[in-house]
Amino acid sequence: MKHEREDAKRLDEQDELLSFKNEFYTTPHTYYMDGNSLGLLSKRSEQTLLTSLEDWKQHGIEGWTEGEQPWYYMSEKLGEMTAPLIGAQAHEVINTGSITTNLHQLLATFYKPEGRRTKIIADTLNFPSDIYALKSQIELQGLDANEHLIQIKSSNGYTLSEDDIISAMDEETALLLLPSVLYRSGQLLDIEKITLNAHKRGIIVGFDLAHSIGALPHQLHDWGVDFAVWCTYKYLNSGPGGTGGLYVHEKHLGQKPGLAGWFSSSKDKQFDMEHDLTPAETAGAYQIGTPHILSSAPLLGSLEIFKEAGIESIRKKSLQLTQLLMDLVQSELHEYGFRITNPLEDHRRGGHVSLVHSEAASICKALKQEGVVPDFRSPDVIRLAPAALYVSFEDVYDVVMILKEIMKDKKHKNFSNQRGTIA
């Protein structure tokens, strides 16, 4: 479908979320399309971080209970604020750790190989750290990861088939871990269908929500998902290295965590200093160490924005933005060798668009020189994420026009087609 700049401007005029762009620190003449790697700083996140610093300054150790944002209960408060984004009960969610440490915690809790049921189903397209964690947890059980980790293959190198995943489930499968949205292609998996079929076979189900939380709604509790993990520095805009989060379905709450620690304790028992753990009755039991307050505080401000904007409205705009982006790529860039690899259907697409091109690395470098911040994934993927809270429809139009000019004038030929140390 052919779109003109006036079409993009018209969509901006109708956008009920447009005012939220003013909440964020954006750079003039720069188009930030990498919110699926690191979201931008909002003024509210800046303020809640400064508030925690002020609590430290004014109260010292009393900041744990007496500050404006008491630290002792911050993880639970953030869990409660996050729960509506993923369709969870407040007591099922906690803000803690990092995505990989949380995954280790939940695997240590739920991966209990017995008899023939010893295998874990994952996939060949997942982010490496998830696979590292799965392999190490299998090996900690004295098992061979080459034999007990089953990775579902992709037929095209970019997407997965839910039917292939379901076909691999059997009486030898103990646990399944998959991404909700594939990081490279942006494919959104059918979480409900996968969970239903896994549970029919007695399999524990976990999901990595890194590329979906904050971009689209979930119904984890109603779908019966056993556990989930995520980072908060992408669409949730908590800042670099922001504290992660986890969800555990209430049917599992009350049991002892696989990796017990100081903050696994029931809040009212924690300072009894007993050497026998009384775990929290909530997802708080899956915390390990002391909360990272200064890496959690920005999320207080960010989640207030999400509450006001509404995740359904964010998803609606996100789909419109990515649809416009795909339409423009197809109408304006068809002669330059780009291929869209994310699913085109709304119900199968996350929050970013993935373009494959044989010169993707050099094109990304050229885009940066022209004021566009994209994301490169080896070997040939350009990811463009128009985050709904701070990217406009006219921004999307401009990005494609800049990309067209780069290709027309061969500006990318001035750069090496090799990724940098960090991509």
Residue 403 inside a domain? The answer is: yes
What are the pLDDT digits (tens) for 369-417? Answer: 999 999 999 899 999 999 999 999 999 999 999 999 999 999 999 999 8
Mean pLDDT computed over 18-36:
96
Residue 158 among known ligand-binding residues: no
DSSP string, 180-239: SB-TTT-BBP-HHHHHHHHHHTT-EEEEE-TTTTTTS---HHHHT--EEEE-SSSTT---
211 belongs to an annotated ligand binding site: yes
185 with 143: CB under 8 angstroms?
no
Number of domain units in the chain: 2
In the prediction, which pLDDT does 167 show?
Answer: 98
Q: Are 18 and 320 in contact (CB under 8 A)?
A: no
Q: Among residues 308, 332, 363, which one ends one of the domains? A: 308
Confidence band, pLDDT 50/70/90 cuts, at residue 347: very high
* pLDDT tens-place string over residues 148-165: 999 999 999 999 999 999
208 is in an annotated binding site: yes
Q: What is the mean pLDDT of the chain?
A: 96
* 262 is an annotated ligand-binding site residue: yes
Which contiguous run of DSSP H or E holds residue 34? none
Q: What's the CA gap between 390 and 40, in Å, rounded?
A: 8
Cβ atoms of 119 and 173 within 8 Å: the answer is yes
Whether 129 has a binding-site annotation, put simply, is: yes
Would residue 166 count as lying in a domain? yes
pLDDT digits (tens, 9 = 90+) for 307-332: 999 999 999 999 999 999 999 999 99
Q: What is the pLDDT of residue 236?
A: 98
Residue 423 pLDDT greater than 80, yes or no = no
Interatomic CA distance for residues 214 and 384, integer angstroms = 16
Same domain for 178 and 319, yes or no, is no
Judge whether 340 lies within some domain.
yes
Domain holding 331: CATH number?
3.90.1150.10
When pLDDT is averaged across residues 191-217 and rounded to a whole number, the result is 98
Binned at pLDDT 50, 70 and 90, residue 4 comes out as confident
Is position 204 annotated in a ligand binding site? no
Contact 135, 285 (CB under 8 A): no
Q: What is the CATH number of the domain that holds 222?
A: 3.40.640.10
Q: What is the DSSP string of 307-318?
A: HHH-HHHHHHHH
Residue 420 — very low, low, confident or very high, per pLDDT cuts 50/70/90?
Answer: confident
Q: Is the pTM of this model over 0.85?
A: yes
Q: Over 80: is that where the pLDDT of 2 sits?
A: no
Please determine, for residue 261, whether its predicted confidence score (pLDDT) is greater than 70.
Answer: yes
- Residues 208 and 212: their CA atoms lie apart, in Å, by 9
State in Å, rounded, how far the first CA of the chain is from the last one. Answer: 32
Task: Give the residues across from 353 on adjacent strands.
Answer: 384
Q: Are residues 393 and 333 in the same domain?
A: yes
Residues 300 and 237 grouped into a single domain: yes
For residue 300, give both structure tokens: 């207080």
Cα torsion angle, 99, 104, 110, 115, sign = positive
Residue that is last in its domain, among 286, 308, 330: 308
Decide if 284 is inside a domain: yes
Helices then strands (H, E): number in the chain? 14, 13
Alpha-carbon 280 to chain mean position: 26
pLDDT mean over 18-43: 97
Residue 419 confidence class, pLDDT cut points 50, 70, 90: confident
Q: How far apart are CA 130 and CA 38, in angstroms?
A: 19
Q: Verify that 302 and 320 share a domain, yes or no.
A: no
For residue 92, the 8-state DSSP code is G
* Residue 110 marked as a ligand binder: no
Q: Is the pLDDT of residue 1 over 80?
A: no
- Give the rounded percent of residues in the chain with a pLDDT score beyond 90: 93
- Domain range for residue 290? 47-308
Give the pLDDT band (50/70/90) at residue 3. Answer: confident
**Domain presence at residue 420:** no
